[in-house]
Copies of this chain bind each other. A is one copy, B any other.
Amino acid sequence: MNAEKIPDIIITRLPVYLRALQRMADHGIKTTSSQELGEHVGISAAQIRKDISQFGEFGKQGTGYSIPYLLDKLREILKVDRLWDVIIVGAGDMGHALARYQGFTDRGFNVLMIFDNDQTKIGQKIGDLIVEDTTNLVEKVQSSGVKIAMLTIPDTAAQETTDKLVQAGVKAILNYAPISLNVPASVKVQYIDPATHLQQMTYYL
């Protein structure tokens, strides 16, 4: 397996396969086919076979894929066979929702800290976390070695905070602020913006 050669578009689909396979496993299903997996995720069987074959020969002719084996391999490829610490910057509605979200741990992520610059929020308890002062962001991120951040602050503060996160060693940012971020090539950004997602559908209505 040569990590450099896998197209980004395939990497975006692997977590979707992983989620569907995990769901099958939760229902006690042990094997599946590209056809069946395709029906679950809305992607063609041919595409799934092609995507998965990039990483080796996982399927057996006639018997399909072993779900536990494929789960292990996908987790290993995506590096979620471990638990990544993640921080949240912004303790507003969205930050609260993420801090209390139960779906991270099973999928490789542990929310370690949450930050805000609002004095009325600092010290508040959200689930098991206590909101920390953004003033200490760089220092706390550096000393904990956390590499992943979720950004749920207003767009006006997003670039400045991103610069601090990058300076502190963060390499992956999930950005909920409705603005494109400038980061060095070594830093990954994913965007979650509900209005953008809605606009990607109205075209077809």
Contacts and interface: CB of A to CB of B under 8 A. Distances in A.
Total copies of this chain within the assembly? 2
Interface stretch (A45-53, A95-103, A115-123, A129-137): A95-103
A105 to B, nearest CB: 9
A178 B12 CA distance: 15
Given A180-B19, A192-B194, A172 B201 contact: yes
Given A79-B203, A202-B79, A202-B108, A16 B188 contact: no
Interface in A71-97: 77-80, 84, 86, 92-94, 96-97
A178 B107 CA distance: 11
Given A77-B203, A97-B96, A201-B190, A104 B148 contact: no
A15 interface: yes
A119 B113 CA distance: 33
A58 B147 CA distance: 41
B108 A194 contact: no
A18 interface: yes
Contact of A194 (B11, B42, B150, B189): B150
Contact of A41 (B92, B171, B180, B205): B180
A190 B180 contact: no
Interface of A: 3, 11-12, 14-16, 18-20, 23, 39-42, 77-80, 84, 86, 92-94, 96-98, 100-101, 103-104, 107-109, 147-148, 150, 171-172, 174, 178-180, 182, 188-205
